[in-house]
Amino acid sequence: MAAFFCANFRSLLAKTYESMEYSVHTLEQLRNGELAGIKRLELSENLTVFPKEIYRLSDSLEILDLSSNQLDDLPSDLAENLPNLKIFFASNNVFKHVPPVLGQCEQLEMIGFKHNQIMSMAEDCLPEKLRWLILTDNQLDSLPDAIGQCTRLEKLALAGNRLTSLPDSMSMLRHLALVRISANRLTRFPDVLLTLPKLAWLAFSGNPFCPERQTHLEFPLLPSEHLALKEVLGNGASGIISRAQCASGYKGFPDNVAVKVFRGEVTSDGYPADELDACLSVGSHPNLVNALAHVQEPEMSALVMTLIPSDYKNLGQPPSLQTCTRDTFTQGQSFTKGEVDHLVSQIESVVRHLEDKQVCHGDLYAHNVLVRPDGHLLFGDFGAASKYDNLSTRQKEGVRTIERRALSYFIEDMQSLIVGSTGMGVTNRPKENVIM
């Protein structure tokens, strides 16, 4: 079954990739002059050395994606030759440090080094205009104090490193709204995060200071041999959700269920094992996707849930490169005030339930909400959830304040979608693909 899952997962990624607005380019196209004037360049050819031919795009290039290569450094003259560069991706390479030349790129707003081997960061490696920094799944044990100078920073992804503390200078990051520090080596909750006035989405599970995972004997263990995966329903950072058929009459389980098979490795949100623990810890609620059982086997970990009827649709879409931390919505999407009030009252009930269980969801977004035509909503995706029952009273209140801030942004977004609304929110923001 694990092999079946992996095949389905690769197939889904391939389909997703093919549907992206931007295609992968080739060095041959670049050398032949076929790419003159493009704003986004994506090269993945097992490169070991930065191709200087990229400099031919000096006047136009704004987004450079060199993910899935074998690069370990960038040329020292990159900043002067790519003066318009705003976004740089280098995930799945072999960098051991963040190249200092990036700090000289005056227009650079987004940097992504997910799945590398980064162990160090120089004080001058980050540009002042930086809004979005992705360092997921590396080997960092500390951050430079100079990160506090990136006062425009809104999104910081640090899950899956070796951090033992966060610098006090982070108190200067007054625009920081999303932080991922799960799966690190923090022995104490970083109180500096509680001082940030815009922080709304926080994930911190999988650190030594966190409470232990529970066995959840109240939920049955379901052998995978009694499940047959069918069509894929959706995917997240930690795994893929599929419809599954349960062996007829097996211990009273429904014939059709939803199964989320976890990938097993660290994700942008943390460890899948912590997601499973948090999801089972919160129990049932009318507006949560109900967990029925879980699978714990050497080759597979999975969550078995109630199958959501097909008439439930996504309320929102994930943030784009432009919106950074705020959701996007489909063109023309709107609601009446009564419909918005009904949606808000349900999500407020969920937040109170999570607070009672001392679990922070960490990803309270409209894109994690499904809505039925009659307005009933279901909230899910606990990939960024963190338990906090062992924190001090002050820290618990701080974590709740952060989650309540996400709730206030959700309410703001919903109100901006009210028919005739003149609010600043997010109506008609375009959906756009983002590499995380």
- What does the alpha-carbon distance between residue 289 and residue 177 come to, in Å, rounded to a whole number? 26
pLDDT at 247: 84
Helix 337-357 vs helix 393-416: crossing angle, to nearest 10: 160
Query: How much is the pLDDT for 279?
Result: 95
Strands 256-262 and 300-306: antiparallel
Terminus-to-terminus CA distance in the chain, angstroms?
A: 27
Give the pLDDT confidence of 234-245 residue by residue, as tens digits: 887 788 999 999
pLDDT tens string 37-56: 999 999 999 999 999 999 99
Pick the CATH number of 313-416 from 3.40.50.720, 3.40.50.2300, 1.10.510.10, 3.30.110.30: 1.10.510.10
Domain ranges for the chain: 20-203, 224-306, 313-416
> Does residue 260 have a known ligand-binding role?
yes
The percent of residues above 90 in pLDDT, for the chain, comes to 83
Q: Measured between alpha carbons, how far is residue 151 from residues 183, 203, 275 in Å?
A: 25, 21, 31
Q: Please report which confidence band the pLDDT of residue 433 belongs to, taking 50, 70 and 90 as the band edges.
A: very low
Mean predicted confidence (pLDDT) in 274-293: 95
Distance, CA of 282 to CA of 271 (rounded, Å): 17
Tell whether pTM > 0.85. Answer: yes
Distance CA 118, CA 374 (A): 49
Cβ-contact 5, 240 below 8 angstroms: yes
What does pLDDT average to over the chain? Answer: 91
- Computed from CA positions of residues 332, 132, 371, 408, in that sequence, does the dihedral angle turn out positive or negative? negative
H/E stretch holding 347 reads helix 337-357
Is it the case that residue 422 has pLDDT exceeding 70? no
pLDDT at 3 over 50: no
Q: Is the pLDDT of residue 431 over 70?
A: no
pLDDT at residue 296 greater than cutoff 70: yes
In the block, residue with structure tokens 């999975």: 302
What is the average pLDDT across 142-151?
Answer: 97
Q: What is the pLDDT of residue 91?
A: 97
User: What is the rounded distance in angstroms from the CA atom of residue 139 to the CA atom of residue 167?
Assistant: 17
At 22, the pLDDT band (50, 70, 90 cuts) reads low
From the list 21, 73, 15, 22, the residue with the least C-alpha distance to 43 is: 22
Number of Cβ within 10 Å of residue 185's Cβ equals: 14
- pLDDT tens track for 78-133: 999 999 999 999 999 999 999 999 999 999 999 999 999 999 999 999 999 999 99
Number of residues in the chain:
436
The tokens of 51 are what? 């191709």
Q: What is the pLDDT of residue 7?
A: 35
Give the per-residue pLDDT at 10: 34
- Lowest-confidence pick of 1-5, 62-66, 304-308, 342-346: 1-5
276 touches 221 (CB < 8 A):
no
Per-residue pLDDT tens over the stretch 158-203: 999 999 999 999 999 999 999 999 999 999 999 999 999 999 999 9
> CA-to-CA distance for 34 and 39, rounded, in angstroms?
13
| pLDDT at 321 > cutoff 90 | no
CATH topology of domain 20-203: 3.80.10
Instruction: Report whether pLDDT(23) > 90.
Output: no
Does 252 have pLDDT greater than 90? Answer: no
What's residue 83's pLDDT? 98
Burial class of residue 345 (count of CB atoms within 10 Å of its CB; 0-12, 13-18, 19+): exposed
Give percent above pLDDT 70 in the chain: 91
Q: Which residues contact 316 (CB under 8 A, 6 or more apart)?
A: 327, 328, 329, 365, 366, 367, 369, 413
At residue 13, the pLDDT reads: 34
Q: What is the pLDDT of residue 365?
A: 98
Please, what CATH class does the domain formed by 224-306 belong to? alpha beta
